[in-house]
Structure 1
Amino acid sequence: MTDWIDIAPLENVPMRGARMVKTAFGCVAVFRTAEDEVFALDNACPHKAGPLAEGIVHGKSVTCPLHNWVISLETGRAQGADEGRVATYPARVENGRILLDRAFLRARVAA
């Protein structure tokens, strides 16, 4: 059974935007698409650790504000780069609230 933690109301993350969320297991960047889909990733770009939560959200991707690397919100992979990936975490919206999977966050801390 999945253990979800409630982190914020959906309205706290702007459409086509992101917010950095502090949890008991560390900080996570939460992204919201124009279609109200929500994704959660580590905040550091695999290139030079740029703050992805400050990037531009377009479609199901975010462009790093430092060097324009495009990261898939679904897979965490850097598009057009030979290597580079950001950890992703299960996220969902329920009753207007954003929920993250506690087990995935906990595993991140243990790694």
Structure 2
Amino acid sequence: MTLFVDIGALDDIPQQGARVVKTAQGCIAVFRTADDTVFALDDRCPHKGGPLSEGIVHGTSVTCPLHNWVFDMNSGQAQGADQGMVRTYPIRVEAGRVLISARLATRKAA
């Protein structure tokens, strides 16, 4: 069973935008889509290290602000001809609050 911790209100994340959560695992980008779905991914593009939290959210994808790589936020997989993947993390919304896997708060970075 996965335990979750409250990281803030859904309304604190702009629609089609992101916020960064600093964890023991590293920086995690928390995205909110136009229909209020949330996703959590590593905040670092595997191509050139761009901050995905500063990227453009469209549908369930995010485009890296540095070199336009597009990632599916469900799987973390780069789309199109780009090769690469970012790690995704368990996240959900309950009663207007965003909850993320508690393991992120306690695991050490590799």
Return the TM-score normalized by structure 1. 0.90
More helix by percentage: 1
Moved more, 7-16 or 78-87: 78-87
Alignment size in residue pairs: 110
Rounded to whole Å, the distance in 2 between the matches of 1:8 and 1:69 is 28
Long gaps (5+) in structure 2: none
Alignment of 1:53-72 (within 5 A): 53-72=53-72
Tell me the amino acid that sits aligned with residue 54 of structure 2: E
Identity %: 65
Q: Does 1:109 align with 2:89?
A: no
Deviation at 1:13, TM superposition (A): 0.5
Deviation at 1:26, TM superposition (A): 2.8
Runs of 4+ in 1 over 4 A off after TM superposition: none
Structure 1 vs Structure 2 CA RMSD: 1.7
Alpha-carbon displacement from aligned partner over 1:43-93 (angstroms, at most 9, x marks no partner): 001111100000000000000000000011100011013520000001000
Return the TM-score normalized by structure 2. 0.91
